[in-house]
Amino acid sequence: MLDYGDFKLCKAVFVNLIPITSPRFLAPETLVVMPDWQEIFENDNPLVLEIGCGVGDFAAQMAALHPLWNYLALDYYNKGCLKTCKRADKAGLANLRVIRDEARSFMERCIPRKSLRAVIINCPDPWPKLRHRKRRLVNAEFVEFLAGYMLPGADIYFATDFVDYGLDVAEMMPGLAGFENVIAPDLFRHELEGYPRSKYMLKFMAEGKQIYYVHYRNVS
């Protein structure tokens, strides 16, 4: 039985969705089965996936920096997708598409295995309460899941301001087979050359916090 809270949630998700008309937005109904990415981008450049792109400021910078990457900016937050599209449209980024979906579900349906040139996760929700930690997106099981979709030599980038999350991921990664630490001997750094800053990174840095960057390469 739905209660009033469920009703408000459903209304927010299904009724109050601001329509996104950008040509860079891939409508959910077109992503039910494996898309033809070459046809979508009109080239066979490698795919890069950013999970949880928020408002797309980082995605727009990365897509501009790497015109030979086909950049998929994904978030299940509609307003974020809308803002990402607006940014990409304004910058005329031909190599960026925006997807409103849940990461794992989208990848299982729409990403060919061993096809991603990079996976990027910036400032994922930290779930700071101890009892909520199991909701964190990035853990060993999720990185192993991602590995199945990564090309040999593909990069995985993780960034967070949350000390405990940063240390957890930094200490977990060396235990995973098939990955090489690009920033060895460091497990994490507080600066990553050439890596743009996202909205959340800038917000946290303005509060005097440090960002924890982790960068690995798939060698399997």
Ligand X SMILES: C[S@@+](CC[C@H](N)C(=O)[O-])C[C@H]1O[C@@H](n2cnc3c(N)ncnc32)[C@H](O)[C@@H]1O
- Of these, 62, 63, 73, 124, which contacts ligand X (CB under 6 A)? 124
Interface with ligand X (CB under 6 A), residue from 122, 136, 138, 158? 122
Among residues 37, 52, 150, 188, which is the contact residue for ligand X, using CB under 6 A? 52
What distance in Å separates the CA atoms of residue 91 and residue 73, rounded to the nearest whole number? 15
Shortest Å, Cβ 212 to ligand X: 13
Phi, psi (rounded to 5 degrees) for 184:
-55, 145
What are the helix and strand counts (H, E) for the chain? Answer: 8, 7
The residue type at 53: C
Binding residue (CB under 6 A) for ligand X from 20, 49, 62, 74? 74
The interface with ligand X within residues 199-218 (CB under 6 A) comprises 199-201
* C-beta closer to ligand X: residue 39 or 72: 72
Cα→Cα distances 149→4, 39, 203, 209, Å: 40, 20, 31, 32
Active site residue 125: yes
Rounded to whole angstroms, the Cα distance separating 138 from 49 reads: 15
Q: Of residues 125, 155, 161, 168, which has the active-site annotation?
A: 125
108 binds ligand X (CB under 6 A): no
- Based on CB atoms, which residue is closest to ligand X, 95 or 122? 122
Judged by CB under 6 A, which of 70, 84, 95, 198 binds ligand X?
Answer: 198
User: Which residues, 6 or more positions from 67, have their beta carbon under 8 angstroms from its beta carbon?
Assistant: 94, 95
Q: What is the largest CA-CA distance in the chain?
A: 54
Burial 29-48 (b: 16+ CB within 10 A, else e): eebeeebebeeebeeebebb
80 near ligand X (CB under 6 A):
yes
Site for ligand X contains 170 (CB under 6 A) = no
Among 24, 48, 54, 214, binds ligand X (CB under 6 A): 54
76 binds ligand X, rule: CB under 6 A = yes
Cα separation, 147 vs 196, in Å, equals 23
Q: Are the CB atoms for 80 and 116 separated by under 8 Å? A: no
Is residue 166 close enough to count as binding ligand X by CB under 6 A? no
8 or 220: whose CB is closer to ligand X? 8
Tell me the window of 22-30, 87-95, 121-129, 181-189 that interacts with ligand X (CB under 6 A): 121-129
Interface ranges with ligand X (CB under 6 A): 51-54, 74-77, 80, 102-103, 122-125, 137, 198-201
> Active-site positions?
125
